[in-house]
Amino acid sequence: MDSCETGKTAGIIIIGNEILSGKVQDSNSFFLVSELRALGVNVLRISVIPDDIAVIGREAALFSRSFDYVFTSGGVGPTHDDLTMEGIAGGFGVPMMQHPSLETRFRRRYGEKLNEAILKMALVPEGADVVDFDDNSFPLVFFRNIYVFPGIPRYLREKFLLVRERFRTACFFLTRIFLNAEESEIAALLNQIVAAYPETSFGSYPIMDNPEYRIIITAEARDRGQRDAAVDKLLGLLPKQIVVRVE
Amino acid sequence: MDSCETGKTAGIIIIGNEILSGKVQDSNSFFLVSELRALGVNVLRISVIPDDIAVIGREAALFSRSFDYVFTSGGVGPTHDDLTMEGIAGGFGVPMMQHPSLETRFRRRYGEKLNEAILKMALVPEGADVVDFDDNSFPLVFFRNIYVFPGIPRYLREKFLLVRERFRTACFFLTRIFLNAEESEIAALLNQIVAAYPETSFGSYPIMDNPEYRIIITAEARDRGQRDAAVDKLLGLLPKQIVVRVE
């Protein structure tokens, strides 16, 4: 495929005091951006916010209006600090409701061991729906364009991989140019190309401690031809001796 | 010290398309939250945003109003995608200016090799000031309560460690309780304690694949006595056989 349609946008909300206090290092946002990128979805923002109903509600409503898809991580479970569902309900001004298929599932699974804490996990904002998997995986709850994932990395990954294909959209074409130079030496030249090829998005990253190259330039576009034209022009202007390789 | 004053708050803004597109995994926010926590600073939000002047400006102004300290990472350097300074200037409606001591430093360091791209790195929002280190380290630029750090992890760390003491404030007291139980079994009991001890902040984290314990409960307060009272009460109510250890 030589050309891509304009893709979808997404925002990611990581919910949890444990991340903001340095007790746990978030790996879910990197997993999600990498997956979404490969699916052609353009992630425009990641927010890490506390376990606070009002903050969750405001962020969820803002992200839902701003992006095509919203992914949340964390704050689902039976304890007092699991506030994501209540936060979303508050942000959209809808009541909470016991979701019938979730409740049925819990009653079947836990039988006599069922208690209030487990039933709390069947409480969702009114209007939420679920994607059902097999009997072993807890369903994925979504509300409008907001997909609610658990914070435990293994569960988030398993669940995302089960639904990833529904988010596939257009692709990106990326070239990386490895240079042995200082950024300040090539900045003026790069700026010319950036201005001349507005459909191609350029990045310039200084690299430490590599014996071969000191900068990686990235050039990325949704259209292969546009990307190729921009890269060819840039390579034509760069001094030959600083170009280490092109990928 | 058995009691701590109410500490300061902070927000972290990570700037860079490379993070949002999964090309680079952010490690700066984890470094900063861990350091700030140890200094007694309460990080309330992390935002990852694109290299976009308007977005940077809005976020910087919002964070500056909302938190005592703001730390930005990324978007400083000589290339077209280094927009943090311009973004901050835009967000506060101030012009850019050539900072005299930065300019002097660059002229001394680069001599005849000085060019426009290097001089761009001396451009800061009017009203910005610098913390000077020795001659080998680029100064730290700050604008009001916003501290502007480079995105390269090694530079960010070096620079932060040089200024960290100016952010030290009150401390936190933390206890971790390791339990061999399901969250749903202890949720009701934990909720009682959460309600009874509002000054202590509790977390409950399910742990996978550990042969000894399946939950870590954290209890954290700025006052040691309040934390101890809450932990003692909780330990008194939990069934003895599920408590693996307390740290």
pLDDT score for B118: 87
| Mean pLDDT, chain A, integer | 91
Alpha helix segments (H runs only) across chain A: 17-20, 28-38, 53-66, 84-92, 100-110, 116-120, 153-163, 183-196, 224-237
The structure tokens listed for A71 are 């992914």
Alpha carbons B126 and B94: distance in angstroms, whole number:
6
- The closest CB to that of A152, out of B26, B49, B206, belongs to B206
Which residues in chain B touch residue A185, judged by CB atoms under 8 angstroms apart?
A: 115, 117
CATH class of segment(s) A173-246:
alpha beta
Confidence band for A232, pLDDT divided at 50, 70 and 90:
very high
* Average pLDDT rounded to a whole number, residues A226-235: 94
DSSP assignment of B46-82: EEEE-S-HHHHHHHHHHHHHH-SEEEEES--SSSTT-
Which amino acid is residue B4, in one-letter code?
C
A210: left (phi over 0), alpha (psi -120 to 50) or beta: beta
ipTM: 0.79
pLDDT score for B227: 93
Q: Work out the minimum CA distance from B83 to partner chain A, whole angstroms.
A: 12
Which residues in chain B touch residue A117, judged by CB atoms under 8 angstroms apart?
A: 183-185, 187-188
3 state SS of A204: strand
The DSSP H or E segment spanning B100 is helix B100-110
| Mean pLDDT, chain B, integer | 91
Confidence band for A189, pLDDT divided at 50, 70 and 90:
very high
CB B183 within 8 A of CB B106: no
Q: Mean pLDDT in each 10-residue stretch from start to end of chain B (247 residues)?
A: 60 96 94 92 96 97 97 92 96 96 88 88 94 79 97 93 86 88 91 93 86 90 90 94 93
B159 in reach of chain A (CB within 8 A) = no
B204 in reach of chain A (CB within 8 A) = yes
pLDDT score for B32: 97
* Average pLDDT rounded to a whole number, residues A138-161: 94
Considering the segment(s) A9-167 as one domain, its CATH architecture is 3-Layer(aba) Sandwich (3.40)
**pTM flag (> 0.90):** no
The β-bridge relationship of strands A146-149 and A201-206 is: unpaired
Residue of A nearest to B174 (CA): A23
* Average pLDDT rounded to a whole number, residues A64-69: 96
Task: List the domain boundaries for chain A.
Answer: 9-167, 173-246
Two domains, one topology: A9-167 and A173-246 = no
- The closest CB to that of A37, out of B21, B29, B117, belongs to B21
pLDDT score for B4: 45
pLDDT score for A136: 66
Say if residue A56's pLDDT is above 50: yes
Point out the least confidently predicted range of A69-78, A146-155, B104-113. Answer: B104-113
Mutate to test the interface with B, among A9, A20, A247 (most CBs of B within 10 A): A20
Give, in degrees to the nearest 5, the angle at Cα B89 between B83 and B90: 85
Residues with Cβ within 8 Å of residue A221, at least 6 apart in sequence: A172, A173, A199, A200, A201, A227, A230
B22 in reach of chain A (CB within 8 A) = yes
